[in-house]
Copies of this chain bind each other. A is one copy, B any other.
Amino acid sequence: MENIISKYKDKGIRLTPQRIAILKFLEGNTDHPAAEDIYRKVRRRYPTISFATVYNTLQTLTEKGDLLEITIDPTRRHYDPNTTPHHHIVCTDCNEIMDVFVDYSDVLTLPSHVLREFKPVGNHVDFYGVCRKCQKKKGGEN
């Protein structure tokens, strides 16, 4: 936590108690929370926190490059404090998301006619699968 504070002291972002709570919740979190998950958790300690604060903070962190927005669930944005390049596998049944730490950048090459139209700046692989819990659930349905 001290590290969080020192990390942001200079970046021109004010460390309010609400922001510190959000940062603490996010730090090391691998659950890929949505804004509402963060709101629910932080509200336990700061009952008057508003969604605007949560969204503002998430946007600020994203702009500073300390948070990634994950667009893999069509119903809501998820956030990932791990900003090292990595990928995700989502359960097609329950939408659980797991990290995939493999660097595919060498093999994800683009054909020249695409490169003629786009200057690539990054990539992200969405894997789809069925998690163990849902495999069991489905097996039981037969």
Query: Which A positions have Cβ atoms within 8 angstroms of B?
Result: 69, 71-74, 77, 89, 91-92, 98, 100-102, 104, 107-111, 114, 116-132, 135
A100 / chain B contacts, CB cutoff of 8 Å: 110-111, 114
Q: Check A114–B98 contact: CB distance below 8 A.
A: yes
Q: Check A119–B108 contact: CB distance below 8 A.
A: no
11 other contacts beyond A102-B111, A104-B108, with CB at 8 A cut-off?
Answer: A71-B126, A89-B120, A110-B127, A118-B131, A118-B132, A119-B129, A119-B135, A120-B129, A122-B128, A124-B125, A124-B126
Q: How far is the CA of A118 from the CA of B91 in the complex (A)?
A: 8
**Which B residue's beta carbon lies closest to that of A76?**
B74
A72 / chain B contacts, CB cutoff of 8 Å: 71
A104 / chain B contacts, CB cutoff of 8 Å: 104, 107-108
- The listed residue (B91, B111, B125, B129) touching A108 by CB distance below 8 A is B125
Q: Check B126–A119 contact: CB distance below 8 A.
A: no
